[in-house]
Structure 1
Amino acid sequence: MNILIIIGTRPEAIKLAPIVTELQTCDKDIEVSVCITAQHRELLDDVLENFKIIPDFDLNIMSTNQTLESVTSNVLNGITKILKEQSYDWVIVQGDTTTALSSALAAFYQKVKVGHVEAGLRTYNKAEPFPEEINRQLISKLSDLHFAPTEESKYNLILENIDANDIVVTGNTVIDALSIAMKQPPTNFLQNILPLIGSGKKIVTITAHRRENFGEPLENICTAIIKLASIYKDQYHFVYPVHPNPNVKTVVFDKLSGIENITLTEPLNYFDFIQLLKQSILVITDSGGLQEEAPSFGIPVMILRNKTERNEGIKSGAGLIIGTNTSTIIQSVSQLLDDPTEYKSQSTYNNPYGDGKATSRIIGSLLGSHIEEFKHT
């Protein structure tokens, strides 16, 4: 069996790395190739290095001020060329990126089967997240095997008339990646941040980078962080690894630099970030991956979005949608930090997104083996 795994962004690399590693070392008759599109070059290479993944193909499409249209066409053309030159039984894509959509479309055109990792996540609002919601709906139409992380994701696919026999509930591979990262020691760079814990202040980790939060929403988020840092200046230290996109970096550094209990950093490599997360008491984020990772440490997640496709965390109490209104953010975070009972109710260690066995379920499904699906209890 010949498999082509396609990676465009940091989250894709993190969530596909356990699959790549396992396929490359398993004793089955499998040939695996890895193609990176480098949709986000600067954030991707660190993850590949962390997991010791050497790509077989590098489309290197990233350009200054790239557009969704250019990424789509460049990936479509690049993957098509690879599929025409070599024979593959499966193309594996992950999530909802433009790389994933374009690759699935290229595979469909070349009559190569598509396996979709993290299938079935939905908000059913095409503007939130943009363009990811429509991307993943289209990928589902193009895919032959759907690796749904949860029962809810499977249910969404069935509602869209996807054959239940083509859906496997695997758990999310990010929990598999998390297990690998937890075994790694912090680097010297992270060790410059960790001493903050010794100052007696607890760590609050912040990330915000989504396209729908560019502009006024991000300004509102920063204003709320300034106020929270002032309210809790003697109790909490806020650490914000800042996304390199100019729409994010310019605003964040302009508004949040120079505040004593706010540390702005360049993006941390994945293993370092997990070590930081482990030391945190709260996460404030618009990230999807962090909604999945934080419950493994019993860390509440305040979600800087109006909708989430990861409702399992909301239902379990591990996450709360707080939007991007400044006063709402301040009120929601303050209520959690000031009320030990409220904090405890959101500190769940029973992660609804996976058990660290998603990779083995996915590979077993590709091989046609009988597997026991993931079920959150």
Structure 2
Amino acid sequence: MTTSYPAQFLAVAGTRPEVIKLAPVLMAFAERSAEAKAALGVTGQHRNLIDAALNLFGLTPAFDLNLMRPGQSPAEFMGRALVDLTTILQHHQPRPAALIVQGDTTTATAAAWTGFLSRLPVAHVEAGLRTRDRRQPFPEEINRRTIGLLADWHFAPTPRARDHLLAEGVASERVLVVGNTVVDALRWLQQRLTEADLPASARRVLDAGYRLVLVTAHRREAFGTPLRNVLLALRDLVMSFENVRILFPVHPNPAVQEATREHLAGVEQIQCVEPLNYRQFIAAMSRADLIVTDSGGVQEEASSLGVPTLVTRDQTERPEGVEVGLVRLVGTERRRIVAEAAALLGDSTRQTRPDRPLNLYGDGQAGRRIVAALLGDANPPPPFVPSIIPTNSSDECRYESTQDRCGFQWSGPRHSRH
């Protein structure tokens, strides 16, 4: 098999979050098409979720391995991805200048290994996130550490992610703080959202005057008792608050589907629906009073929108939102989830939604910074510096790296952080 693609750079994605977070990089390449081109290949790791994301951003894959199989294990998928990606690279003309991977999925790990074994430079988007717990999240923590060893370029979303990489011995000249590309995608989409994008299920809740809680759950380490506890906590919550309704787009993983049917069937206050497309999800998130999630990307999006968020995990690789009060880690203990949700839903003193972007995880320019670095610009844009712009204030609170590079602190005026 001989294939020919016009790209000097090749990005590989397998899941919806990867497409969403790589789209700004591909858009930035398109802005500079006279200098370089980039193609996207997909593995189909999440077949039923990735296609809508590709359509949203107008992306046509150069290849689609279509590796999704019912009931597949990560190991089975990894093996097929390694073989098929190696075949693609062996016949890829011209040879890519670099292979671009995003995040910590099995697809990203397989692609990074393939690039390394093929002696191609590997660029890692969203590098340096760490919990320091090998099993939380599983298997993502090990995936991203592995990619960190294989990558040549490390595009860190925040100063803390950069500091993790430097502490692990990555040379400083190979690390650049760019912000998270999900913020680029979010801002791009916000400019295009209309009222019609709000899902009918969410509209019914809001039109009836109820408060909307948006929920996601999909982490493998939560399967079994932890997930059961989360679902029962959701049931307890709607029984405790007559004015609350829950919208729960149920992940297609069979373990999540089965547990949802077992524990939430017949609970009228909880609308369990098929996965929303990204337009619908952001529209619903923008109108939610509270988000309950175990997703990393949702933490970033919710923080950027200023929506209070409970994370049903014991640890997060995105601690910045927790440390400024936008996010609370609540674990999977049933009573604690209910208590924390009740505290937020019952807090009449909480600040209203910010009318300007919260620049905690990005400023919308990450894709351009990444492309500038890959093309070796002589005068690249400055690195991303996180900041929070408080509601109803012209003052800016900066949340930035301390001199000893061990953490973050507030500088400038103090403001209420609900």
TM-score, normalised to structure 2's length? 0.87
Structure 1, unaligned stretches of length 5 or more? none
What's the counterpart of residue 341 of structure 2?
333
Secondary structure of the structure 1 residue equivalent to 2:122: strand
**Percentage identity across paired residues of the two chains:** 39
Q: For structure 1, which segment, 21-30 or 203-212, has the greater mean C-alpha deviation from structure 2 after superposition?
A: 21-30
How far apart are the structure 2 equivalents of 1:196 and 1:329?
Answer: 22
Is the 2:201–2:271 contact (alpha carbons within 8 Å) kept by the matching residues of 1?
no
Alignment match, 1:260: 268
Shift of residue 18 of structure 1? 1.6
Q: How far is 1:337 from its partner?
A: 1.6
Aligned-residue offset at 1:28: 3.3
Asked if 1:18 is matched to 2:27, the reply is no
1:53 aligns with 2:62: no
Q: Do the aligned partners of residues 345 and 119 (structure 1) sit closer, same or farther apart at CA in structure 2, a change above 3 Å counting?
A: farther
Q: In the alignment, which residue of structure 2 is the partner of 1:120?
A: 128
- Aligned partner of 2:37 in structure 1 is 31
Looking at structure 2, the residues matched to 17 and 281 of structure 1 have their Cα atoms a distance apart, in angstroms, of 28
Residue 345 (structure 1) shift: 9.9
1:186/1:92 Cα in 2 relative to 1: closer, same or farther (>3 Å)?
A: farther
Q: Which of 206, 225, 240 is equivalent to 1:216?
A: 225
Using the alignment, how far apart are the partners of 2:304 and 2:376 within structure 1? 30
Query: What is the 5 A alignment of 1:145-164?
Result: 145-164=153-172
Which of the residues 235, 242, 248 maps onto 1:240? 248
Shift of 1:132: 0.4
> 8 Å contact 1:300–1:346 — kept in the other structure?
no
Distance change (3 Å), C-alpha of 1:192 and 1:230: closer
SS at match of 1:115: strand
Secondary structure of the 1:193 match is helix
Which whole-Å deviations, capped at 9, do the CAs of 1:136-186 have from their partners, x for residues lacking one? 001011001000000000000000000111111000000111112212325
- Aligned residue identity for 2:260: V
Instruction: Give the superposition deviation at 1:211.
Output: 0.4
RMSD: 1.7
Which consecutive unaligned segments of at least 5 residues does structure 2 have? 1-6, 387-397, 399-418
Q: Residue in 1 aligned with 2:212? A: 203
Structure 2 residue identity aligned to 1:344: Q
Q: Quick one: structure 1 residues 239 and 301, their matched pair in 2 at CA, closer, same or farther if it must change by over 3 Å? A: same
Q: How does 1:1-377 map to 2 (within 5 A)?
A: 2-86=8-92, 87-182=95-190, 183-185=192-194, 187=196, 190-233=199-242, 235-341=243-349, 343-344=350-351, 350-369=358-377, 370-376=380-386, 377=398
CA drift of 1:128 comes to 0.3
Deviation per residue, 1:182-214 (Å, 9 max, x gap): 123255781343132111111110111110111
C-alpha displacement of 1:45: 0.8
Shift of 1:346: 10
Q: Which has the higher helix share?
A: 1
Q: Distance in 2 between matches of 1:20 and 1:143?
A: 19
Looking at structure 1, the residues matched to 143 and 253 of structure 2 have their Cα atoms a distance apart, in angstroms, of 21
Tell me, in whole angstroms, the C-alpha distance in 2 between the residues paired with 1:149 and 1:165.
16
Measured against aligned partners, the alpha-carbon deviations of 1:65-113 in whole angstroms (never above 9, x if no partner) come to: 1111111111111111111112111100000001101100110011100
Q: Give the SS at the match of 2:10.
A: strand
Match of 2:104, SS?
coil
Moved more, 14-23 or 156-165: 14-23
Change (3 A) 1:188 1:309: closer
Report the number of matched residues: 375
Distance apart, 1:350 and its partner CA: 2.5
Maintained 8 Å contact 1:243/1:266: yes
Deviations 1:292-349 (A, max 9, x none): 00122211110000100001111111101000010111111111222234x4399895
Letter in 2 for 1:30: A
